A and B are shown apart, each in its own frame.
Chain A
Amino acid sequence: MIEDYKTDTCTVEELIASHPYVREFFAMNNLPMENGYRTIASYFATLPYTLLEDLGTQPPVLLGRFHAFMREMANIRERQGVDIKSLTIRGGRDKRGNVEDIELRIGLGDLVSIVGPTGSGKSRLLADIEWMAQRDTPTGRQILVDDEIPPASWRFSSDHKLVAQLSQNMNFVMDVSVAEFLVLHAQSRMIDHYDQKIAEIIRAANGLSGEAFELDAPLTSLSGGQARALMVADTAFLSVSPIVLIDEIENAGINRTKALALLSGQNKMVLIATHDPLLALSAPKRIVVCNGGIMAVLDTSDEERQCLRQLQAMDDIQTVYRDTLRSGDSLRMCRDRACGGFHI
């Protein structure tokens, strides 16, 4: 479809009409649109000398860049997501040089938590996965994709987005509205019809944060909770990456268990480093990290699942108390000792 443009017969305007994103090439290179009635070849050949001087370039260079642009945009449209089924973590060594005797396979839709004291190496493990370590990081771990060593181009070029990341330190920095941001993100994936997707993301985000925001809100004005909720919803619905790495979102002010369910429900592999017992137990499997190494991989037991229910109840109480206080109401203690003094 893309190869059908002929530089000596197709005009710039015709090409933009059939491929609207081509406009971006001219905007990006500060090229004027007045001569868009010319064929592509003659458009470049007749660019004014002063403009070329401003740009510091020559018509053949621009034409070459134009062809590369058309090629790359077609590539991005075709490359919709990396189709992988599993990820395998092969152990390396801890900080003392002790061998990590481990081989952990994670599949699509799996949710795995990573626990351990501060400085124990949780983030390092996430970094090894993000980096698709091949025994070339300080831990000596190896990450396999579909039981094989991933190609170098997957590891390093940012065109193959295997991994999406979400951490406490990440902020929105763009000076655009929420709607403009989501459109930009959809366009960066060459998605043509994104209205429904955007509505879906807003609905999900507002469901996570509890404090609704509008589409025309400036992206940078969102509260911490709203921003985190939008990041989660955007990752769930607009990211092509099959692997999601989360580093400590416990203080984010969003419904954490719902956020995890949303991500793993989109058939992604989710790994979350956390100090929060609620999040740790929400995952069926957890990796225990100590002194830079993986100490154990544990399955959440039935007993722990009961503990999780208790934790969930406590979390619900917290939420009610928080909302009550936030809305200006007062709390009352319950006289009935059977409920432990909590009053909901």
Chain B
Amino acid sequence: MKLITVSGPPSSGKTSVIVHLIADLRHRASRCAVVKFDCLATDDDALYASHGIDVRIGLSGNLCPDHFFVSNIDDCFAWGRRYGYDILFSESAGLCNRCSPHIEGCTALCVIDNLMGAGAPRKIGPMLKTADIVVVTKGDVVSQAEREIFAFKIRQANPSCLILHINGLSGQGSAYLSEVLLRTGDMQTLQGKELRASLPSALCSYCLGETRIGKEKQKGNVRRMELD
């Protein structure tokens, strides 16, 4: 089975891209499923189901979304194999821009959109910078020049990735991406595999439920801003 990790900021078009990809992949007789990671709630299970796509949902609740992802992805992988899928997509939002679900040996996708502005590639961390493929959406609503500038900024942030433009509404461009994905290798297990980037550390009193503000309440891994 192949695991494709799909990341990207909220509303960048991850779900639309995956839905179009799976439609193309089905034409090529691939069995696909999705594991959607979110924090508090999601409607995407209904959305995927409406396209006849098998989906499982993981809500991280009050845990760090990425730590939650890593603790669950190998079970998800095993689930996908057990059910006989050819390709499993994991979808996660990358909410703090420091997060990245990408794993060595699994094809890594980052979906970002043209409306984020030229500064976005700098602000997004490993989920963009370590991706194999960067999918750019919403190209139909911005100027040609801005599309070119945006693609250049992505190229600077991730010099070795493949940059593809996909229209999330029409799906134009997804057929080629599905071909690219089909050419990637299969895996037997995620046991022993490594994340491409370390996860954000979070070990302070607030991780343990502290809500009060004040220096004496701050314990553990705390870092202060320099304001003067």
Contact = CB atoms under 8 A, between A and B. Distances in A.
Contact of B155 (A27, A29, A57, A72): A72
Interface in A159-218: 159, 161, 164-167, 169-176, 181, 184-185, 187-189
Contacts, number: 128
Interface in B135-155: 136, 140-146, 148-149, 151-153, 155
A262 interface: no
Contacts of B98: 54, 56
Contacts of B175: 136
A290 to B, nearest CB: 21
B164 interface: yes
A68 B143 contact: no
Nearest to A72: B159
Interface in B174-211: 175-176, 197-201
B159 to A, nearest CB: 4
B125 interface: yes
Contacts of A166: 143-144
A219 B157 CA distance: 24
A173 B197 CA distance: 31
Contact of B159 (A56, A71, A156): A71
Nearest to B170: A127
Given A68-B159, A239-B145, A173 B200 contact: no
A27 B165 CA distance: 25
B47 interface: no
A37 interface: no
Contact of A57 (B122, B126, B156, B172): B126
A104 to B, nearest CB: 22
A157 B155 CA distance: 12
A172 to B, nearest CB: 6
B159 A184 contact: no
B144 A235 contact: yes
Contacts of A188: 148-149, 151-153
B126 A172 contact: no
Nearest to B198: A56
B118 interface: yes
Contact of B149 (A53, A185, A231): A185
A131 B146 contact: no
Interface in B37-77: none
Contacts of A68: 159-160
Nearest to A175: B117
How many chain A residues sit at the interface, stated as a range, is 35 or more
A185 B176 contact: no
A156 B164 contact: yes
A317 to B, nearest CB: 31
A323 interface: no
A334 B158 CA distance: 65
Nearest to B146: A174
A65 interface: yes
Contacts of A165: 144
Given A28-B122, A156-B164, A173-B146, A65 B152 contact: no
B20 interface: no
B163 interface: yes
Given A57-B126, A156-B164, A173-B117, A238 B141 contact: no
B122 to A, nearest CB: 5
A130 to B, nearest CB: 8
Nearest to B180: A156
B1 interface: no
B162 interface: yes
Contacts of B15: none
A225 B200 CA distance: 47
Contact of A156 (B160, B176, B200): B176
A53 B198 contact: yes
A127 B173 CA distance: 11
A134 to B, nearest CB: 11
B13 interface: no
Interface in A233-262: 234-235, 238-239, 241
A158 B98 CA distance: 26
A319 interface: no
A167 B140 contact: yes
Interface string B84-123: 0000000000000010100000000000001101100110
A197 to B, nearest CB: 13
A96 to B, nearest CB: 22
A166 to B, nearest CB: 6
B14 interface: no
A127 B121 contact: no
A76 B152 contact: yes
A57 B197 contact: yes
A299 interface: no
B144 to A, nearest CB: 5
Contacts of A56: 98, 100, 125-126, 197-200
Q: Which 9 A-B pairs have the closest CB atoms?
A: A56-B197, A188-B152, A68-B159, A72-B159, A69-B159, A68-B160, A156-B176, A56-B126, A185-B145
